[in-house]
């Protein structure tokens, strides 16, 4: 799958592009079921909310789950990012964010590249996210919020928030968010399971807590141009990967074998 000229222009102008119905219901059902199996484990890669019970995020699932290994090489995810980053990419980070019904906590306003630069010494913002919705995302269950064109502001000043949630984050001040929203507004991509959103590493984003009875599970692949790999290795390898091998996309039907096994 490749992006059109118009989609590429939208990404560069606004910092993101949203595409609906990219993955089929059987594909998303398989991945969602596997995500909940992972959330139920006691692996160190599964970070819990402050209640120490509810899964917040599961890192590096491609290292220990076959469905997520294949998804991490899926051409519908890898090919459009290679277009936007103009070359081969490696997996910098891979996570499944749970945002569980009733208990999924806030993700504060931040830029992902701000973390990659400060913590991992990634040289340039030649890295980005591509996210796959595994549940329907609505206005009720903690949808992502973007500040369009905020990626044009460069890497903004941020503070290291170690208190608000169970996961530390480099966050942007309320005054700066107010300024950015006054200039760029707010958008919130919502849609059916199987939709994807690609967004720039410097796009300011966040999400509110999930007070609804509906889960909001999203898989994030953070992909980086291989020439732009990180230089510092202070975070665990399962958070900031150190294998800079270019990803070779698999066949488009690479999940079908697993779907068929489950159906048998």
Give the pLDDT confidence score for residue 187 in this predicted structure: 98
Provide the 3-class DSSP secondary structure of residue 198: strand
pLDDT over 90 percentage in the chain:
94
Give the pLDDT confidence score for residue 163 in this predicted structure: 81
For the stretch 19-54, pLDDT in tens is 999 999 999 999 999 999 999 999 999 999 999 999
pLDDT over 70 percentage in the chain:
100
Give the pLDDT confidence score for residue 168 in this predicted structure: 85
Q: Where are the alpha helices (DSSP H) in the chain?
A: 5-14, 25-39, 66-71, 75-85, 112-120, 174-184, 256-263
| DSSP, res 125 | S
Q: Which residues contact 222 (CB under 8 A, 6 or more apart)?
A: 91, 92, 93, 94, 95, 112, 116, 127, 128, 129, 201
Residue 199 has pLDDT above 90, yes or no: yes
Give the pLDDT confidence score for residue 262 in this predicted structure: 80
Taking the C-alpha atoms of residue 116 and residue 126, their distance in angstroms, rounded to an integer, is 11
Give the pLDDT confidence score for residue 165 in this predicted structure: 82
Total domains in the fold of the chain? 1
Mean pLDDT of the region 158-165: 84
Mean pLDDT of the region 163-173: 87
Q: Which domain holds residue 62?
A: 5-263
What's the whole-number average pLDDT of the chain?
A: 96
HSE-up (13 A, CA, CB side) for residue 142? 28
* Residue 182 backbone zone (phi > 0: left; psi -120 to 50: alpha; other: beta): alpha
Taking the C-alpha atoms of residue 61 and residue 38, their distance in angstroms, rounded to an integer, is 8
CATH of the domain at 217: 2.60.120.620
């Amino acid at each position: 799958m490749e992006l059109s000229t118009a989609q590429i222009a939208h990404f560069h102008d606004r910092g993101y592009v949203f595409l609906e119905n990219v993955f089929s219901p059987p594909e998303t059902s398989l991945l969602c079921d596997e995500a909940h199996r992972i959330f139920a484990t006691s692996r160190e890669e599964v970070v819990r909310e402050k209640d120490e019970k509810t899964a917040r995020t599961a890192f590096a699932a491609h290292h220990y789950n076959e469905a997520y290994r294949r998804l991490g090489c899926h051409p519908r995810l890898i090919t459009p990012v290679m277009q936007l980053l103009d070359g081969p990419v490696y997996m910098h980070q891979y996570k499944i964010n749970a945002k569980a019904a009733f208990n999924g906590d806030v993700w504060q306003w931040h830029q992902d590249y701000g973390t990659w630069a400060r913590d991992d010494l990634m040289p340039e913002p030649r890295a980005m996210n591509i996210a796959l919705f595994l549940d329907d995302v609505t206005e009720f269950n903690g949808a992502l919020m973007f500040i369009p064109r905020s990626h044009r502001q460069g890497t903004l000043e941020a503070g290291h928030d170690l208190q608000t949630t169970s996961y530390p984050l480099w966050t942007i001040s309320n005054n700066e968010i107010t300024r950015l929203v006054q200039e760029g507004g707010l958008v919130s991509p919502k849609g059916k399971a199987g939709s994807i959103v690609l967004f720039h590493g410097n796009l300011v984003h966040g999400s509110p807590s999930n007070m609804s009875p509906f889960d909001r599970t999203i898989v994030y692949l953070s992909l980086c141009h291989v020439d732009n790999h990180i230089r510092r290795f202070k975070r665990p390898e399962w958070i900031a990967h150190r294998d800079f091998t270019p990803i070779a996309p698999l066949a488009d039907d690479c999940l079908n074998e697993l779907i068929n096994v489950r159906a048998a």
